[in-house]
Amino acid sequence: MTDKTSSPTPATDFIRNIIREDLASGKHQRIVTRFPPEPNGHLHIGHAKSIQLNFGIANEFDGNCFMRFDDTNPLKEDEEYVEGILQDVHWMGYEWGEYLSYASDYFEELYEFAEELIKKGKAYVESLNAEEIRELRGTLTEPGKNSPFRDRSIEENLKLFREMRAGKFSDGAHVLRAKIDMAAANINLRDPVLYRIRKVPHQRTADQWCIYPLYDFTHGLSDAMEGVTHSLCTLEFEDHRPLYDWILAEVSAPCLPRQIEFSPLNLRYTVLSKRRLIQLVEEGHVNGWDDPRMLTLSGIRRRGYPASAVRLFCERIGISKSENNIDMSVLEDCAREELDKIAPRAMAVLRPLKVVITNYPEDKTEEFEPARHPKNPAMGSRKVPFSREIYIDHDDFREDPPPNYFRLAPGKEVRLRFAYVIRCDEVIYDTEGKVNELRCTYDQATRSGAKAEGRKVKGIIHWVSTKHCVPVEVRLYDRLFAKPLPGSDDPEGNFLKDLNLNSVETINSCQVEPGLEEAQPAEVFQFERVGYFCVDSKESRPDTLVFNRTVTLRDTWAKLEQEQTRQS
């Protein structure tokens, strides 16, 4: 891993405890894990949990983790996903070095293992179709029935399986099944299908194969071939473990990896299954996999989350077997914590309201030089020009202020951050009677940092100089879904009806302090009093930067205001 700084204390959970025991007892000298995505979609925040667990353990125990693509279904898989997945894992801060593999690398070995099962009388060629197989499978309460093809001779099975490989049959004509027990209580053990015919070229092996192994057959054997010691997967595979163990026991597997299940991450107000994410993309409910509202790793990255925030999140939610539905605020808090450390500060006015400071000389410009980061002097300072006309945010002015309103109001005073105290003398309206401009006067004796900062003013607001500011577009994001568990109350599981139709608000006329026009794609800032923002890496135009709001601020402003009043 390139950066271990976010993990000062070693994580402890039931999986790491098992690993410590296995090392202590000498069962294993070296730990090997793997992260095995199927390249049929891009990774989401749930995968981050698995990445952090598998790569994290390999790093902590000085073992290694295979980055393995589980690419056994050419119908749904794509090279584009492979590249995206590698980019995402790399972004998370993990390196696979020489341990990059593909299940398709093992197609020949897997085929040999299948023949081995046939030769032992532990697998047979089934000639019923999918529907007939399903009918004989039984139910949770009723045992299944043996197929009429179950007792084919080893010779016939071998001949048919070789002919399947040679392309003699069309899709669906036969499958290879394990011969276990049609009456097993665990349905996964009722002669599961191991191979099927698919006359579809594969993205890596082209038309070399027309039979493809299924997940359960492929997974454990790939683990064994890579010397995986602990095969960590989500709880839905718990019922597959007996099959995982059966396959490894029946063939001459090079080693016996141990499958251990943990609970998958579920996040409220979003969906995390690739099938649903694909639907959101394909039906145009979002603008692609990396839409900043998507909880894909590419979406989160584009939204402005640093990888360290995702790692912190995974650390915080931990690993266990219990069902969970994590609140989005846990993830957002992690973003705030990490961004607070690294994001330079800037002033940005989202909804500009012009203020003319009538007693300030017309041709004068002053430059203030605040720190880029209040807690990190190494980040240096920036220059913020001030002049007679400025913009403040519409939200920082009220004509009829409630009690305890410390921002600007007619006849009231407020401090302009880094600058002076101004008083609002006059409100100018447009033809529709809306507030259009404020006329204010400033008090020269109240210059920030000067010895006599003057009287105490409770409110501090941000601003930009109209002559110097830079127009930008800002996108304020909200949750993609309006319900915590999208689709959960619908018999058909229709989750689209729960989409939040106001999940993005675009504001075109924002103004930011000069200097930000140099900002680079993906650069993050804290817009003071507003939130954390990042330059959109896709849609920023040469003449207009687009900023994505990563996350709002916690109310740290109140504290800052107190501090400043105390100092003055």
Pick from 5, 129, 170, 273: which binds ligand ATP (CB under 6 A)? 273
Pick from 47, 174, 177, 240: which binds ligand ATP (CB under 6 A)? 47
Q: Which of 169, 158, 94, 74 is nearest to 122 (CA)?
A: 158
Cβ closer to ligand ATP: 275 or 341? 275
272 binds ligand ATP (CB under 6 A): yes
Q: In 400-486, which ranges are E strands? A: 413-416, 421-429, 435-443, 460-461, 464-465, 470-477
Segment holding 132, helix H or strand E: helix 130-136
Binding marks (x or -) toward ligand ATP, 238..267, rule CB under 6 A? Answer: --------------------------xx--
150-158, 268-276, 403-411, 456-464 -> range binding ligand ATP (CB under 6 A): 268-276
Question: Minimum distance from CB of 45 to ligand ATP (Å)?
Answer: 8
> d(Cα 166, Cα 163) in Å, to the nearest integer?
5
Pick from 87, 146, 188, 234: which binds ligand ATP (CB under 6 A)? 234
Q: Where are the alpha helices (DSSP H) in 195-306?
A: 215-225, 241-250, 274-282, 297-303
Pick from 13, 18, 23, 38: which binds ligand ATP (CB under 6 A)? 38
Cβ closer to ligand ATP: 274 or 301? 274
Pick from 7, 37, 346, 519: which binds ligand ATP (CB under 6 A)? 37
User: Do the bridges between strand 421-429 and strand 413-416 make them parallel or antiparallel, or are there none, so unpaired?
Assistant: antiparallel
Cβ closer to ligand ATP: 310 or 438? 310
Pick from 46, 257, 292, 306: which binds ligand ATP (CB under 6 A)? 46
> d(Cα 180, Cα 245) in Å, to the nearest integer?
12
201-204 long-range Cβ contacts below 8 angstroms, 24+ apart? 201/74, 202/71, 202/74, 202/104, 203/39, 203/71, 203/74, 203/77, 203/78, 203/79, 203/82, 204/71, 204/102, 204/104
Cβ closer to ligand ATP: 32 or 265? 265
Q: Are the C-beta atoms of residues 248 and 233 closer than 8 Å to each other?
A: no
Cβ closer to ligand ATP: 275 or 467? 275
Question: By Cβ distance, which residue is nearest to ligand ATP?
Answer: 46
**Helix orientation angle between 215-225 and 241-250, rounded to the nearest 10 degrees:** 60
Question: Residue 422 forms beta bridges with which residues?
Answer: 414, 442
Binding marks (x or -) toward ligand ATP, 296..335, rule CB under 6 A? Answer: ----------------------------------------
Q: Are the C-beta atoms of residues 498 and 481 closer than 8 Å to each other?
A: yes
82 binds ligand ATP (CB under 6 A): no
Question: Minimum distance from CB of 240 to ligand ATP (Å)?
Answer: 11
> d(Cα 82, Cα 354) in Å, to the nearest integer?
50
Please tell me what DSSP assigns to residue 553: P
Question: Minimum distance from CB of 47 to ligand ATP (Å)?
Answer: 5
Q: Are the C-beta atoms of residues 312 and 49 closer than 8 Å to each other?
A: no
112-120, 166-174, 271-279, 550-558 -> range binding ligand ATP (CB under 6 A): 271-279
279 binds ligand ATP (CB under 6 A): no
* Tokens at 260, concatenated: 């251990």
Query: Of 171-230, which residues contact ligand ATP (CB under 6 A)?
Result: none
User: Rounded to whole angstroms, what are the CA distances from 425 to 381, 417, 441, 443?
Assistant: 33, 19, 7, 13
Number of residues forming the site for ligand ATP (CB under 6 A)? 15
Question: Minimum distance from CB of 433 to ligand ATP (Å)?
Answer: 53
Question: Minimum distance from CB of 513 to ligand ATP (Å)?
Answer: 40
Cβ closer to ligand ATP: 37 or 84? 37
* 3-class secondary-structure state, position 61: coil
Question: Minimum distance from CB of 498 to ligand ATP (Å)?
Answer: 18
41-49, 186-194, 291-299, 521-529 -> range binding ligand ATP (CB under 6 A): 41-49
Pick from 49, 196, 311, 373: which binds ligand ATP (CB under 6 A)? 49
Q: Are the C-beta atoms of residues 181 and 126 closer than 8 Å to each other?
A: no
Binding site for ligand ATP (CB under 6 A): 36-38, 46-47, 49-50, 233-234, 264-265, 272-275
